[in-house]
Amino acid sequence: MRIVKVKDYQEMSRKVANLISAQITLNPSSILGLATGSTPEGAYKILARRYKKGDLDFSEVVSFNLDEYVGLSGEHPQSYRYFMNKNLFDLVNIDLDYTYVPRGTASDPDEMCDDYEAELESYGYVDLQILGLGRNGHIGFNEPSDHFSEKTYCVDLTESTIEANARLFDSADEVPRQAYTMGIGTIMHAGIIVLAASGKEKAQALHDALEGPITPACPASILQMHEDVIVVADEDALSLCTL
């Protein structure tokens, strides 16, 4: 595991954007695993700027997102499909047909999950996976639990995640109670994993993920078992780590 310690959110965003840019430059038909949320937003802005300047080409890139709220369509402003289109896909020349996000409105949840996992498998899973970190140690929407999940599945969100995400909805009542997410096993198939974290509110989770025991009570702790993880985190997020 390599730790890249940065000053703040801006520097974290530049480093994450650099890693994604390098991946696409070295392999234009890369399979990217993408996250939504505040953490990657800055990096996506930088990638969009680089594309506009002619420095990056997404035409052959394929992407798979980690997760989506159950019940939200891609037109819903809080859906992760909407987030990705607005913050990255509509700003670069990626082929939308090759941007995969779990379908929140699928009529058959089990079938949707199986199809998503099968699609990932058909590509040999992702080359580079970007992860944010939940305050409770979740990655994707893999919440603290008594076991590590394997494949893409439908998960009940915890109260702490609902509260954390309520800032993006009009009220906590509107936050969906379930989500589709790649499983821990799915995520661990990635060739390289970039875990990004910024801010004091991530410090405890980052400490537990990097320096605590490997336990499903802190899903991100499984990353200690992956052979190619790059942690890009700022001083505040790393403030509880001894390293």
24 vs 43 by CB, closer to ligand F6R: 43
Give phi and psi for 130, each to the nearest 5. -95, 130
Least Å from the CB of residue 82 to ligand F6R? 13
Least Å from the CB of residue 55 to ligand F6R? 25
Least Å from the CB of residue 134 to ligand F6R? 4
Return the residue of 20, 31, 62, 66 that touches ligand F6R, per CB under 6 A: 66
Classify 144 in phi/psi space as left (phi over 0), alpha (psi -120 to 50) or beta. Answer: beta
Determine the number of helices (DSSP H) and then strands (DSSP E) in the chain: 7, 10
Q: Strand order of the sheet with strand 153-156?
A: 67-69, 178-181, 153-156
30 vs 161 by CB, closer to ligand F6R: 161
210 vs 48, 183, 204, 234, CA distance in Å? 31, 19, 10, 14
Cα 178-192-29 angle, rounded to 5 deg: 95
Bridge-partner residues for 164, per DSSP?
Answer: none
Mark whether 147 is an active-site residue. Answer: no
Tokens 């990705």 belong to which residue?
A: 84
Mark whether 138 is an active-site residue. Answer: yes
Mark whether 142 is an active-site residue. Answer: no
Region of 32-40, 42-50, 89-97, 235-243 interacting with ligand F6R (CB under 6 A) = 32-40
Mark whether 76 is an active-site residue. Answer: no
Region of 3-11, 21-29, 35-43, 84-92 interacting with ligand F6R (CB under 6 A) = 35-43
* 38 touches ligand F6R by CB under 6 A: yes
102 vs 81, 88, 198, CA distance in Å? 8, 17, 26
Least Å from the CB of residue 167 to ligand F6R? 9
E strand or H helix at 165, and its extent?
Answer: helix 159-165
* 39 touches ligand F6R by CB under 6 A: yes
Return the residue of 13, 23, 30, 36 that touches ligand F6R, per CB under 6 A: 36
**Ranges within 117-146 binding ligand F6R (CB under 6 A):** 132-134, 138-141
Q: Which residues are catalytic?
A: 67, 136, 138, 143
In the complex, which residues of this chain contact ligand F6R (CB under 6 A)? 35-39, 66-67, 80, 132-134, 138-141
